[in-house]
Amino acid sequence: MVSEECLDTEGASVIPGTTITILPRMLGYGGTAVVYDGYDAHYQQHCAVKVSRTANDVAQLKHEAQIYRHLGMRTMGVPGMIWSGKIEDKHAIVLSRSTGQQPLTSFAPMASMETFRAVGIKLLACLREIHYKRVVHGDIKPPNILVFEPRSGRVQVSLIDFGYAVLMNKQYLRQAAEASSYSIARNVRGGTCIFASINWQRNTSISYRDDLESLVYTLYFLKCGALPWCVAHKGRVQALDTDHMLECKLQMCQWIKASGAPPQLASLWQYARDLQVDEEPDYDYIIHTIFQDF
């Protein structure tokens, strides 16, 4: 908890009608939004203020706010939404935030085996929670995962960025069953497909199974610091073209074996690939059988 007097309020602005101040410190940015540090004077706690970049990104932020509203304030590993609304011609979402959290990107490939295991187990627990509430995240990747590793104590993990999330309601499942090769969520998904599932790349409707598959790519990246379909070029990481990427993804079990990454990742990948579009993952089986000795 930080007292208000400690805050540097120069360049800060209060969101009209609220007790929330947007502080002039950027926490990060993505394809659709810029995220600032914030402070809620009423609850005396820091928060994250996610503001759409352009007028075109407003619809996505509104969609994300709907998903957070559906998930409620108490979904384990997911920030609670404190406020959502218009700021001038932009849309903003204010989310609860624990200080010290860093995107998972900054942990790879330095993650110790202990951190790797803790992050893997926590992320599975997060997915179990959101899937139980019928939400598919749809964009599981390191920048959308925040990790706090205290010097002593347990690793904390938060899943953020529900901009491409899908609610698996009856209407979605009916459309998914009818659509043979057309993804109904495709129109809202953009950006990179490095961590995307094979189904997503093939335009098949996304569902629970795709979050699990992307989790495997994310954990492989955390362990190995790269993915087989990313190459280093002039000091930057570049992905192979999408056809090559797809070919590599289909060989994932072999890549896992060759890299020395835990074999449980190959079992989880195969389990995810074998699920049907409307099939809910059996998390008891995943945690107690696949990840038994993780």
The interface partner of residue 50, options being Mg ion, ligand ADP, none and the CB cut-off 5 to 8 Å by kind, is: ligand ADP
The residue whose two tokens read 């690939």 is: 273
Name beta bridge partners: 146: 103, 158
The interface partner of residue 137, options being Mg ion, ligand ADP, none and the CB cut-off 5 to 8 Å by kind, is: none
Question: Measured between alpha carbons, how far is residue 274 from residues 202, 259, 291 in Å?
Answer: 16, 23, 17
Of the candidate residues 15, 22, 27, 30, the single one contacting Mg ion (CB under 5 A): 30
DSSP strands (E only) in the chain: 13-14, 20-29, 33-40, 45-52, 81-87, 90-96, 102-103, 135-136, 145-148, 156-159, 166-167, 230-233, 236-239
What contacts 55, CB < 8 A, 6 or more positions away?
Answer: 89, 90
Options 4-12, 111-119, 159-167, 247-255: segment touching Mg ion (CB under 5 A): 159-167
| Distance in Å, CB of 56 to ligand ADP, minimum | 12
| Distance in Å, CB of 96 to ligand ADP, minimum | 8
The interface partner of residue 146, options being ligand ADP, Mg ion, none and the CB cut-off 5 to 8 Å by kind, is: ligand ADP
Name beta bridge partners: 231: 238
Options 1-9, 143-151, 178-186, 239-247: segment touching Mg ion (CB under 5 A): 143-151
Options 15-23, 32-40, 148-156, 247-255: segment touching ligand ADP (CB under 6 A): 32-40
Question: Measured between alpha carbons, how far is residue 28 from residues 49, 51, 102, 146, 287 in Å?
Answer: 10, 11, 10, 11, 32
The interface partner of residue 197, options being ligand ADP, Mg ion, none and the CB cut-off 5 to 8 Å by kind, is: none
Nearest alpha-carbon partner for 216 in 153, 150, 281, 151:
281
- CA 113 to CA 120: how far, in whole Å? 10
Is residue 122 a contact residue for ligand ADP (CB under 6 A)? no
Nearer to ligand ADP, 40 or 161 (CB): 161
| Distance in Å, CB of 156 to ligand ADP, minimum | 12
Is residue 28 a contact residue for ligand ADP (CB under 6 A)? yes
Is residue 57 a contact residue for Mg ion (CB under 5 A)? no
Phi, psi of 36 (to 5 degrees): -110, 155
Nearer to ligand ADP, 144 or 218 (CB): 144
Is residue 149 a contact residue for ligand ADP (CB under 6 A)? no
DSSP strands (E only) in 107-155: 135-136, 145-148
Interface positions, 47-86, toward ligand ADP (CB under 6 A): 48, 50
- Contact residues: ligand ADP, CB under 6 A: 27-33, 35, 48, 50, 97, 101, 103, 143-144, 146, 160-161, 163
